[in-house]
Amino acid sequence: MSTTRKETDVWMHCSNSAVRRAARQLGQLYGGVLGASDLRSTQFSLLSQIASSGEPTLKSLAGAMVMDLSALGHTLKPLLRDGMVEMLPDPHDKRVKRVRLTAEGEARRGELMAAWRDAQDRFDSLLGRDKSEELRRTLAQIGSPEFAAAFAAAGKGD
């Protein structure tokens, strides 16, 4: 019956499913290369983003990570507890808090750079440099605020 056909269509044609599957796979693969260190691959990503952002506010960091603000707060807790990052008050706005890496966090991050590079090189080789870069570009586009806005707008006028 055609029912089976349609059901198959869903998981084959759902970009949301597809991206989640890939995310789980890469979480495993990168995590495996990073090894049983103190930092998970998600935490490494977060520390890297913080490092490249200077001393971002929680809000801006959440935006950069395409993450809910409260989710970021929760995610930061183990890192705070383990002394990888610290929170500072903003001098101009008492509502605002900024995050930065501690020396410890910076050190850990540095230790994992080589492993990350290894994982990323394997990935690039397997997929092909061009395809890999193209993929990251597309994913960046999907993660952009502009994409979210356009997606929402597509619903309005529909």
Which residues of this chain interact with DNA, rule CB under 7 A?
Answer: 20, 24, 27-28, 31-32, 36, 40, 42-43, 57-59, 62, 67-71, 73-75, 78, 87, 90, 93-98
Residue window 21-40: x/- pattern of binding to a second copy, with contact defined by CB under 8 A: xxxxxxxxxx-xx-------
Which one, 71 or 89, has the nearer CB to a second copy? 71
Contact partner, 123, from DNA, a second copy, none, Cβ < 5-8 Å per class:
a second copy
Six token digits for residue 29: 């693969």
Which one, 6 or 94, has the nearer CB to a second copy? 6
Which one, 89 or 136, has the nearer CB to a second copy? 136
CB burial of 16-36 (b: ≥16 within 10 Å; e: otherwise) equals eeeeeeeeeeeeeebbebbee
Residue window 59-88: x/- pattern of binding to a second copy, with contact defined by CB under 8 A: ------xxxx--------------------
Contact partner, 15, from DNA, a second copy, none, Cβ < 5-8 Å per class:
a second copy
Question: Using alpha carbons only, what angle is made at residue 88 by residues 82 and 92, rounded to the nearest 5 degrees?
Answer: 165
CB burial of 90-118 (b: ≥16 within 10 Å; e: otherwise) equals eeeeeeeebbbbeeebbebbeebeebbee
Q: Which of 73, 24, 101, 25 is nearest to 65 (CA)?
A: 73
